[in-house]
């Protein structure tokens, strides 16, 4: 397994964790419950810089930072999967 495939799989895992955290936030709003605790520990540090730019207080309560994180992760994955 090459190093680029390892990073591509890591980026996919991060994408899944961000999506899981968004879905779990509808069902389990308390971040201290188990599955939400795990996903928020991983996705919150990724979303924090984007929350400063497009946080929910700027958009009427809608947090679009996970969307920005997913876009960045997909761009990174696309750059890694291109042949040199």
Domain coordinates in residue numbering, the chain = 3-81
pLDDT category of residue 83 using cuts at 50, 70 and 90: confident
Q: Which residue has the tokens 């929910």?
A: 56
d(CA 61, CA 79): 33
First to last CA, the chain: 17
Q: Where are the alpha helices (DSSP H) in the chain?
A: 3-27, 34-54, 65-81
* pTM metric for this prediction: 0.89
Compare 62 and 16 and report the one with higher pLDDT.
Answer: 16
d(CA 81, CA 73): 12
């Amino acid at each position: 397994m090459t190093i680029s495939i390892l990073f591509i799989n890591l980026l996919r895992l991060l994408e899944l964790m961000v999506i899981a955290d968004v879905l779990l936030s509808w069902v389990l709003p308390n971040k201290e419950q188990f599955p939400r605790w795990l996903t928020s520990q991983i996705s919150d540090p990724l979303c924090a810089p984007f929350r400063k730019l497009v946080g929910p207080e700027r958009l009427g309560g809608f947090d679009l930072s996970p969307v920005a994180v997913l876009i960045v992760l997909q761009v990174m994955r696309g750059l890694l999967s291109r042949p040199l």
